[in-house]
């Protein structure tokens, strides 16, 4: 489902003396449907950079990333948008929404964007918010005023609203209590059982051991470290 | 898929000065394109050339019309272009006073656009105007008030209702949230996003506010000195800008 080949990434800081910082070189790996791969490596090794390239959020300077048959590194913006709508989900650590939009709609939005009926989308949103223990009295409020843990759960609910065939998870269990953590882990297991190819960053070691089938140490993609 | 708008080599000079130079892009149905750049970068010149308010020196603006398929807007006759401006196109000005008739009622502002495309039945026009005021969150009780009695945010919402009532397919917006309080901006952005999704609209939004494009635009064009210097997916351009100027622009935004 996900094939990364010979990926390279540099940052060139034009306003700081045009210094070029190579962050990735020769990164190659694949993730099959129903498989979960954990990216590991010390802070700054490039885990998030890999995730962001996979999502089309960062540009690569070399190599290719094929997700569901689309090469993200060469696709036109509208192809990436279609891929993100239908195929590729991303649970980031931060919730970014228009203030004022009710939580229920924030969670239902990925399904509405796919053209599902309002009834179906809202039913799925209610189900996920209930499972993730967001009290019903908060559903009509914007999540921008919620606590960090609540925002993260809203973000997770949104990320799992549609059954994406490929899913990127950036620390999905950070700052969650034991009960909610358990819910998130079962959501991940359900997605895997449903055939999703998952790439994740999990600092939570027990969570990683439980859901990940393999680990990929990104330090081996760091230029100059072999 | 046929692009809704296909712009080729659009240039406009003001004497020896460049307004915009060699701009080309495609806009597909349902897409929102943001154009950012500082004052004088050519973004408003470009928008006005696209919308037919300014005549470019060279280039083509090919619009996929409902009746005749793709046609170059610049070679249309003036009446044809004016009809397009009342039906398939809409233009939301930064200053609502430029897009509204200040001496007629709110309901009249919305109804006038319907009458311009042939609506005649008073009851039906008023009903549709009321419906649209509701959609932009203006109370029905204000339908007979003049826009001069409205707040800036309400005026902007009324301008949007006036523009969208005829069901356009392409909306041009020039700094739609400029000059509004931040809280009012959020409400307006939410409203525009909802309308874009429900009506399947395409939009071109000119702004200098990067937060606005992040929330509203699928794709981004960055302009400087009349040239498009960088394009791409909105979050990609903002999170991994490539051009020196874009890096400066993004890093200059104060974090709150």
| Close Cβ partners of B53 (under 8 Å, ≥ 6 residues apart) | B91
Determine contact: B209 vs chain A, CB below 8 A.
no
Cβ contact B219–A78 (<8 Å): yes
Q: Chain A: nearest CA to B192, how far in angstroms?
A: 11
| Close Cβ partners of B119 (under 8 Å, ≥ 6 residues apart) | B111, B125, B128
B144: nearest Cα among B101, B100, B103, B105: B105
Cβ contact A78–B31 (<8 Å): yes
Q: Chain B: nearest CA to A137, how far in angstroms?
A: 22
Determine contact: A142 vs chain B, CB below 8 A.
no
User: A-chain residues within 8 Å CB-CB of B235?
Assistant: 57
Pick B239's closest partner by Cβ from A14, A58, A80.
A58
Q: What is the pLDDT of residue B254?
A: 65
Per-residue pLDDT band for A57 (boundaries 50, 70, 90) equals very high
Rounded to two decimals, the ipTM of the complex is 0.90
Pick A81's closest partner by Cβ from B187, B215, B218.
B218
Predicted confidence (pLDDT) per residue in A2-17, tens digit: 999 999 999 999 888 8
Determine contact: B229 vs chain A, CB below 8 A.
no
Contact B102, B161 (CB under 8 A): no
Determine contact: A82 vs chain B, CB below 8 A.
no
Q: What is the pLDDT of residue A161?
A: 96
User: A-chain residues within 8 Å CB-CB of B185?
Assistant: none
Pick B186's closest partner by Cβ from A58, A99, A113.
A99
Predicted confidence (pLDDT) per residue in A133-151, tens digit: 999 999 999 998 898 889 9
Predicted confidence (pLDDT) per residue in B119-162, tens digit: 889 999 999 999 999 988 899 999 999 999 999 889 999 999 99
User: A-chain residues within 8 Å CB-CB of B187?
Assistant: 100
Q: Chain A: nearest CA to B166, how far in angstroms?
A: 23
Testing the interface with B: which of A78, A92, A94 to mutate, by most B Cβ within 10 A? Answer: A78
State the Cα angle at A38 between A32 and A43, rounded to 5°: 145
Predicted confidence (pLDDT) per residue in A16-48, tens digit: 888 899 999 999 999 999 999 999 999 888 999
Per-residue pLDDT band for A96 (boundaries 50, 70, 90) equals confident
Q: What is the pLDDT of residue B25?
A: 96
Contact B205, B212 (CB under 8 A): yes
Whether the per-residue pLDDT at A226 is higher than 50: the answer is no
Q: What is each CA distance from B251 to B40, B61, B160, B218, B234, in whole angstroms?
A: 20, 33, 32, 21, 15
**Residues A202-207, mean pLDDT to the nearest whole number:** 92
Name the A residues in 32-71 with CB < 8 Å from any B CB.
Answer: 52, 56-59
Pick B247's closest partner by Cβ from A14, A56, A101.
A14
Pick A59's closest partner by Cβ from B31, B214, B242.
B242
* DSSP single-letter state for residue B47: H
Cβ contact B240–A13 (<8 Å): no
Per-residue pLDDT band for A218 (boundaries 50, 70, 90) equals very high
Contact A200, A211 (CB under 8 A): yes
Determine contact: B181 vs chain A, CB below 8 A.
no
Both tokens of A162, joined, read 């549609």
Which residues of chain B carry a pLDDT beneath 70?
254-256
């Amino acid at each position: 489902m996900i094939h990364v080949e010979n990926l390279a990434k540099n940052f060139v800081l034009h306003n700081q003396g045009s210094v070029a910082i190579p962050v990735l070189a020769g990164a190659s790996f694949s993730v099959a449907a129903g498989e979960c791969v954990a990216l590991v490596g010390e802070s700054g090794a490039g885990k998030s950079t890999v995730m962001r390239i996979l999502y089309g959020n960062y540009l690569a300077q070399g190599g290719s990333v094929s997700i569901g048959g689309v090469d993200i590194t060469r696709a036109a913006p509208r192809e990436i948008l279609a891929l993100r709508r239908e195929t590729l989900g991303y649970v980031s650590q931060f919730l970014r929404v228009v203030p004022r939009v009710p939580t229920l709609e924030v969670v239902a939005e990925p399904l509405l964007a796919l053209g599902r009926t309002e009834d179906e989308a809202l039913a799925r949103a209610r189900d996920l918010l209930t499972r993730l223990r967001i009290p019903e009295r908060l559903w009509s409020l914007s999540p921008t005023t919620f606590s960090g843990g609540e925002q993260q759960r809203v973000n997770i609910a949104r990320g799992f609203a549609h059954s994406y065939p490929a899913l990127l998870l950036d620390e999905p269990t950070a700052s969650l209590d034991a009960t909610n953590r358990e819910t998130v882990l079962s959501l991940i297991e359900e997605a895997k059982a449903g055939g999703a190819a998952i790439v994740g960053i999990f600092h939570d070691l027990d969570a990683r051991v439980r859901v990940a089938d393999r680990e990929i140490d990104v330090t081996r993609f760091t230029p100059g470290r072999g | 898929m046929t692009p809704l708008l296909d712009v080729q080599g659009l240039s406009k000079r003001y004497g020896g000065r460049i307004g915009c130079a060699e701009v080309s892009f495609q806009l597909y149905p349902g897409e929102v394109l943001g154009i950012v750049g500082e004052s004088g970068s050519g973004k408003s010149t470009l928008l006005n050339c696209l919308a037919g308010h300014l005549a470019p020196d060279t280039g083509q603006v090919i619009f996929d019309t409902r009746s005749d398929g793709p046609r170059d807007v610049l070679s249309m006759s003036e009446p044809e272009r004016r009809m397009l401006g009342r039906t398939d196109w809409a233009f939301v000005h930064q200053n609502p006073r430029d897009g509204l008739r200040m001496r007629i009622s709110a309901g009249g502002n919305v109804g006038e656009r319907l009458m311009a495309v042939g609506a005649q039945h008073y009851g039906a026009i008023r009903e549709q105007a009321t419906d649209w005021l509701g959609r932009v969150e203006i109370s029905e009780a204000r339908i007979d008030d003049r826009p001069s009695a409205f707040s800036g945010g309400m005026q902007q919402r009324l301008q949007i209702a006036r523009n969208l009532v005829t069901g356009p397919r392409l909306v041009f917006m020039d700094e739609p949230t400029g000059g509004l309080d931040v809280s009012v901006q959020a409400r307006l952005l939410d409203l525009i996003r909802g309308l874009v999704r429900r009506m399947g609209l395409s939009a071109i939004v000119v702004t200098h506010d990067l937060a606005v494009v992040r929330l509203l635009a699928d794709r981004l064009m960055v302009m400087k000195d009349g040239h498009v210097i960088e394009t791409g997916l909105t979050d990609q351009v903002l999170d991994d800008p490539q051009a020196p100027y874009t890096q400066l622009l993004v890093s200059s935004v104060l974090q709150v």
